[in-house]
Structure 1
Amino acid sequence: MNAQSPKTVDDTRLDSVIYQDGIMRISYTLTKTSKDEIDSDAFTKDKKALAASVSCDEKGLGQFVKSGLLIKYTINDSSSAPITDFQIGKSDCL
């Protein structure tokens, strides 16, 4: 995956996807947004709910997450300052 990164969709760039020791790390950058423009608590809540929905879907990674795969998401702003990071695991797929 990293050989093809970064990929940009809308104003979000997928920077990297790394898998090691049962953990998948996915890093994004919001290319036109500053950390100061965001309510980080509300943003984190919304993005974690969306990530759980996508990550737990049976058509995607759902079977792996439900079997113990941990996905750690990192989202940075346009200047590479961290906005949020969170993880999705088996307990998020109930």
Structure 2
Amino acid sequence: MRELLKGNIRLVITYWVFGVIPEIIYNGIGKVIEKYYFQLATTSHMEWFFYLYLIFPFIYFPLIYVAIWRSSNKYKGRRLWRWLAKLAVIPGAVLLIVKAVLLANLFFRASLSDKIKMEVTQLKKGLPSKIDSDTEIYAISFDNKTITYSYRLLKADKSEVDLNYFNENIKPELIKEICSDKDLSRYVKQGIIFSAIYDDKNGAELGRASVKPGDCK
């Protein structure tokens, strides 16, 4: 790594192996995250993976840009390749700075509602998504401090469901699910309402429940 940062590694290796290929892999991981965002976001302890994914380019690529620049200065081949390598570094560095500013605004200046709206927008991209063999979440929305999840019970038929029993039990289960999650319970304590709508396999509503501030003790 020391030799790399000093620019002592050949430019073609520094640029392609340590610059272009890692960026392609990073962008590919981003596409996978976008496609399976709901499944990943609802998996415990995945928040650390997201944090690592977000901060990685701000740690890795500045070092590689320095390495490419220094390696370009020591390049003995055609001057064109030296300047092309440097020209690739400049927009990359500018884009990284812009991303850093946007990320800082997101974490430190955006309101809670703005953060939730962005989160919901990402979650929508992965819907519909199966939670298990019996349940599918097909919609999510955020309006007036209420996050609404719409579920479809894939094997249930409204005509065969005891609706009174169903509605008596869905709120305690929803409270347990929301309040046992550290991030979701924090939202509830900040005034956010979680609402869930349950439909049968044909789209007929079976019931709905909400978790409001005060439900999470």
Q: Match for residue 2 of structure 1?
A: 124
With over 3 angstroms needed to count, the CA separation of the structure-2 counterparts of 1:81 and 1:3, relative to structure 1, is: same
Q: Match for residue 82 of structure 1?
A: 205
CA deviation profile, 1:72-94 (whole Å, cap 9, x unmatched): 11000011000001211013223
Higher RCO, 1 vs 2 (CA within 8 Å, ≥6 residues apart): 1
Higher helix proportion (structure 1 or 2): 2
CA deviation profile, 1:45-69 (whole Å, cap 9, x unmatched): 2221111011112523001112211
- Counterpart pick for 1:28 among 132, 151, 157: 151
Q: Match for residue 195 of structure 2?
A: 72
Q: Could you tell me which amino acid in structure 2 is paired with residue 67 of structure 1?
A: Q
Q: Could you tell me which amino acid in structure 2 is paired with residue 56 of structure 1?
A: C
* Identical amino acids, percent of aligned pairs: 23
Deviation at 1:19, TM superposition (A): 1.6
Deviates more, 1:16-25 or 1:27-36: 16-25
1:18 and 2:134 matched: no
Task: Determine helix, strand or coil for the equivalent of 2:182.
Answer: coil
Compute the TM-score of the two structures, normalised by the length of structure 2: 0.41
Q: Separation in 1 of the partners of 2:135 and 2:172?
A: 17
Compute the TM-score of the two structures, normalised by the length of structure 1: 0.90
Q: Separation in 2 of the partners of 1:71 and 1:17?
A: 11
Q: Could you tell me which amino acid in structure 1 is paired with residue 180 of structure 2?
A: D
CA deviation profile, 1:14-56 (whole Å, cap 9, x unmatched): 1112122211010000111101111112112222111101111
Q: Could you tell me which amino acid in structure 2 is paired with residue 2 of structure 1?
A: K
Superposed CA RMSD: 1.3
Q: Separation in 1 of the partners of 2:146 and 2:201?
A: 26
Q: Could you tell me which amino acid in structure 2 is paired with residue 6 of structure 1?
A: P
Matches within 5 A, 1:31-46: 31-46=154-169
Structure 2: stretches of 5+ with no match in the other structure: 1-122
- Counterpart pick for 1:49 among 172, 191, 196: 172
Task: Determine helix, strand or coil for the equivalent of 2:173.
Answer: helix
Task: Determine helix, strand or coil for the equivalent of 1:60.
Answer: helix
Q: Separation in 1 of the partners of 2:125 and 2:174?
A: 23
Structure 1 residue runs of 4 or more that deviate by more than 6 Å after TM superposition = none
Q: Separation in 2 of the partners of 1:61 and 1:85?
A: 18
Partners of 1:56 and 1:66 within 8 A in 2: no
